[in-house]
Structure 1
Amino acid sequence: MVAGNKMMNVRVTTMDAELEFAIQQTTTGKQLFDQVVKTIGLREVWFFGLQYTDNKGDLTWIKLYKKVG
């Protein structure tokens, strides 16, 4: 881990499970999505994406090539 690169916890809720990941603030949406896909064994990845609730309370899609943190 690079100095100054803080970790953050994220919770991913699926229909079947609630998962928690510790990721770096520089982690991209694609890196998080790939980690989720690998953890749950998802094969049809083209049908899915990740959403989060933003600070206004709206559901927003994670942008794959932007930092999550």
Structure 2
Amino acid sequence: MRSLTEQNIRTRAYKLWQAAGEPNIRFDAFWYQAEKELLEERTRETAKSGRSKAGTRRIVRRRDGASARAH
């Protein structure tokens, strides 16, 4: 998972500001929007990697012949 840095937020905020036509308003709104988007992306990446790891569990046979999930 990649870490969220101030530079990541600054770069995203600048791109959002440019896409909005470089308005003459406070840059704070773009900063907070960029931070929100990046955090959401990071959360999705974390959830995705967690699902893929969970999908790699294997089924093992217990001595009594019943199936059990290995954790």
Task: Compare the two structures and name the one with the higher helix fraction.
Answer: 2
TM over 0.5: no
State which structure, 1 or 2, has the greater radius of gyration over its C-alpha atoms.
2
**TM-score normalized with structure 2 length:** 0.30
Relative contact order (alpha carbons < 8 A, sep ≥ 6): 1 or 2 greater?
1
